[in-house]
Amino acid sequence: MKKTLVASALAAIIAAPAVYAVEVYHDDTNSLTVGGIADVRVVSSHGETDMVPGWSRIFFTSKHQLNDGWSAFSNFEWSVNPFGNTKVNVNTNGQFSDSKANFLGNRLGYVGLGHDQYGQLSFGKQWSVWYDLSGGTNNAIGFDGNASGTYTYNKSDGSFNGTGRPDKAIQYRNAFGDFSFGLQFQLQQNEVKVEDILDGNAGPKAAFARATPNITVEYQNTYGFSATYAVTDKLNLIAAANTGELTITEDGIQRDETDYIYGVGMTYGSMNDGLYLAANVNKNQNHDTDNAGRLLPESVGVETFASYTFANKVRPIISYNILDAGDEYAETYDKYGTNDEFKRETLIVGVHYLWTPQLTVYTEGRFDFSDFNINGPLAGKAADGEGDAFVVGMAYKF
C-alpha cells in the first residue's frame, strides 16, 4: 500500500460516516460536515407490531489543518427518536420494552490528531478496535447477529467493556504497507448496577437480579488490539482481542474475574457492488450474558454475512449467527440446583433495494433456533430471547 493509500485508510477511520455527509463549511484550514440517517421501520416481534425509529442519527465532523502534515479532527454523533416518547420501544434485535426513549442519545463523541506517516490518536467515545473485526458482519439493517461480543449485556452499546462504542477510550491507529493496526486503552473504574445495564433494553431486567446474586459489576480499565492485512483489494484478514478486569459482588461478597474476548475474521468485496462476504469467530470469558442476564463463564461465537448487489440495485442478504456457552455454563450454574443450557442461534434473510445512494428500502426476517433451558424458579425465562421477527422499512441518508 502506498503512502497515499495509508492516508486514505486513516481518513476513512477518522470520518467513517462522511459518505452521506454534506460539507457545510470549508476553507484553507477548516472543514465542517453535517449528516445523518432517518430510518423508519415497522417491526413485528413477540406478538406485537409497532413503528420504531431504527438507527436514526445525526452527526457533525470537523477537521482543522495544522503544521507539518498534522491535522486535528472531531466527530459527534447522536441517536434520534423522531417519534417521541412512545410507550413501546424496540431495540436492534426487534425486541420490545416498556422503557421511555429520549429524543437524543449519545453514540459517539471524540477528538484527535492525525498524520499521514505517524498515524492517528483519538480520545473519547468511539468505535472500538474490536469493531474492526466484528463490523464486517454487522450489515443487516433490521437486526444484529448478537454473537460477536460487540453489543454485550443484552444489547448495551459495549461502552463499559470496550468492544462496541467504548466510553473514555484512547486509540492509536496506523498503517504500514498492506498492514494496519489499532491499539485501545479505556480509562474507567465504573460500577455498573444490574438495573442500569438492562434499562432501556428488552432483556428481562427484573429477572437479572433474581437469576444470580451478581448484583453489581465493577469494571476496571480495558485494553484492545486489532490488526488487518489487505491480502488483495477485495480480501481482508482481521484479528482482534479485548480484555479487562472486573469485580463481581455476590451477596455482599466480592470476587475478581477477567473479561476477555479474542477472534479472527475476514471480509471480501464491497457491500454495494456485487458479491460481499464476511465472517468472524471469537472465544470469550465473562464477556456477555444469557437471556436472564447471567454472565457466560465461557462461550464461542460465530457470525457470518453474505450479500450480492445486482446491477438493478437489488441486494439479497443472508446472515447466520451462533453463540454457544458450552458445558462450562451448565457446570457454573449447577450450584443453584439446575442443569441449564444456553445457545443463541439465529438466521437473518432479507432484501435491500438501493433506490438511490441515499435511500434504501428494505425488508428482513429473523428466525430463532436458540436453545435456552433453565430449570427451577427461572424456568419461565427460557422463552425470553431473540424470537422470530419481521421488519420492513426505509433508511434515508442525508
> By CB neighbour count within 10 A (0-12 exposed, 13-18 middle, 19+ buried), where does 168 fall?
middle
Q: What is the pLDDT of residues 109-163, one digit of tens each?
A: 999 999 999 999 999 999 999 999 999 999 999 998 899 999 987 667 888 889 9
Per-residue pLDDT reduced to its tens digit, 285-295 = 999 988 777 78
- Global pTM? 0.87
| pLDDT at position 2 | 42
Quick: pLDDT tens for 233-284.
999 999 999 999 988 776 677 888 899 999 999 999 999 999 999 999 999 9
Q: What is the pLDDT of residues 300-317, one digit of tens each?
A: 999 999 999 999 999 999
Mean pLDDT, the chain, whole residue set: 84
Among 136, 52, 137, residue whose Cα is nearest residue 391: 52
Between CA 139 and CA 142 the distance in angstroms is: 9
Cα dist from 133 to 193, 239, 246, 355, whole Å: 29, 6, 23, 29
Higher pLDDT, 87 or 337: 337
Question: In 3D, which of 391, 394, 390, 392 has the Cα closest to residue 361?
Answer: 394
| Residue 336 pLDDT exceeds 50 | yes
In angstroms, rounded to a whole number, what is the distance separating the alpha carbons of residues 107 and 330?
36
Segment among 52-56, 80-84, 288-292, 380-384 with least mean pLDDT: 380-384
Distance between CA atoms of residues 246 and 259, nearest Å: 7
The confidence band for 98, taking pLDDT boundaries of 50, 70 and 90, is very low
Whether 162 contacts 130, CB under 8 Å: yes
Q: What is the mean pLDDT of residues 22-31?
A: 93
Instruction: Please name each of the domains of the chain with its CATH number.
Output: 3-397 (2.40.160.10)
